[in-house]
Amino acid sequence: MTTNFYPKHYCGVFGVFGHPDAAMLTYYGLQGIQHRGEESAGIVSSRGDNQPFRIHRGMGLVKDVFRPGNIRYLKGRQTVGHTRYSTTGPSQMCNAQPFMGTFAGGTEVALGHNGNLVNADELKAELPHTLFTSTTDSEVILSLLGAAKASDIVEALKLTLPRLRGAYSLVLLTRDSLIGVRDPFGFRPLCIGEKDGAFFLASETSAFMPIGVKFVRDVRPGEIVVMSRSGLSAVDAFPDHTQRALCIFEFVYFAKPDSNIDGHNVHVVRTRMGQELANEHPVATDVVISIPEGGDSAALGFSEELGIRPDRGFIRNHYIGRSFLKPTQKERENDAKLKLALIPDVVRGRRVVVIDDSIVRGTTSRTRVSQIKEAGAREVHVRVSCPPHLWSCFYGVDFPDRNKLLAVRHSVEEIRAFLNADSLGYLSLEGMVRATGRSANEFCLACFNGRYPVPPDQLA
């Protein structure tokens, strides 16, 4: 059918205002959201005086990009940090964030962006005399801010944000403030924290807990929050906008289970998805296993609802690199087997249910089913804790080509046969939404139903 594929995450942003160990806390904070971007990492720092910003960026994981000397160099009380997966623009050093620029009067500003604009090319064409150093939509935002005729950064944002179409959670650093922005639909999460009188911003609450930061609240859709020596203030940049569209894939796949998004714990929601899945697609089996780590919580809910014994069928090897970098399909398949090692004694002679969070292209899922059957399982039943992906995403999830989505070209029965599974069941859209405890009109469901909150210029 096609080659192996996993959807890439968006990006991760983090910021600190007013802490003497801001750079070190940002380093650890970025590790807490490393799952949102593994291609590059960067930190910009400010001492809060007239000295210029300091920056360090590099390709790779946070732990590999930064050394103790880099953290000492970045010493300051204000920082903005970023981890990246490429959504707009390839994986190159020129696209590593945060980006730096100048605002009115030569004031420095640094920006980290999580999301994707659907009108970036149009906006770029409006800046014909701007020399762009990257190929990302994030630098377009920074350039628009620099071109805005405004007296301060907040006014520049109020002029610029209405021109942006798509998804954006932003963290901006100036010499005397840290600013967080969330688009009016709230596609991407962004939250506020506090520690030792300092303020923090992060893509997920999972970045706060390991470093002792207390969660304060989420940045509201359409809100500009400003952190300065005067404290925390907020401006609603879109007071008349009421439509919400949080990406539901945050709960299905992207966010860490220990994160809370807009008041809902990710692990709890995924467990409910597993319960809904069990009610919709029950099956008589001997053991429930998951594809770690995305399917773990849903597997618990599935097994609990049906009273089937859960177990660990696969053990993840965290030291295997990303398989899509391998040049041949055989090498990618070998890496997939090394990345998740099967425990044969758990499945041998048993009827097995395998819970996965999603099937996008299907080849890796087929490899897992084959492993389980080769180990002696009597039956293998696959259950997926979200509906089939049928539409492209234009807001930052890296599966933009609709023709590469397995469910677009094949029925559920054809996918089951391709996987060589004894049965296959997807969670319904209604069941997925019900598991969140919220209504469908609060989410972006476009990759499942094709209804785009912000219509792109061309539907793929």
Name the residues annotated as catalytic: 11
What is the residue type of 449?
N
Q: In angstroms, rounded to a whole number, what is the distance separating the alpha carbons of residues 337 and 340?
A: 5
Distances (CA, A) of 256 to 198, 266, 445: 24, 7, 20
Q: In angstroms, rounded to a whole number, what is the distance separating the alpha carbons of residues 362 and 365?
A: 5
> Which among 369, 363, 394, 362 has a CA at the least distance from the CA of 137?
394
Q: In angstroms, rounded to a whole number, what is the distance separating the alpha carbons of residues 49 and 56?
A: 19
CA dihedral 191, 392, 128, 147 (to 10 degrees): -20
What is the residue type of 41?
A
Give one word for 63, left, alpha or beta, with left for phi > 0 and alpha for psi -120 to 50. alpha
Structure tokens at 58: 């590099």
b/e burial code for range 436-458 (CB count within 10 A of at least 16 → b): bebeeebbbbbbbeeebbbebee
> Which among 12, 47, 39 has a CA at the least distance from the CA of 28?
12
Do 288 and 303 touch, CB atoms closer than 8 A? yes
Residue 35 CA to chain centroid, in angstroms?
A: 7
> Which among 290, 324, 335 has a CA at the least distance from the CA of 404?
324
Which residues contact residue 409 at a Cβ distance below 8 angstroms, ignoring those fewer than 6 apart?
Answer: 1, 403
> Which among 270, 305, 310, 266 has a CA at the least distance from the CA of 288?
310
> Which among 63, 157, 73 has a CA at the least distance from the CA of 109?
157
Size (the chain), residues? 460
Residue 113: helix, strand or coil by DSSP? strand
CA dihedral 265, 268, 272, 275 (to 10 degrees): 160
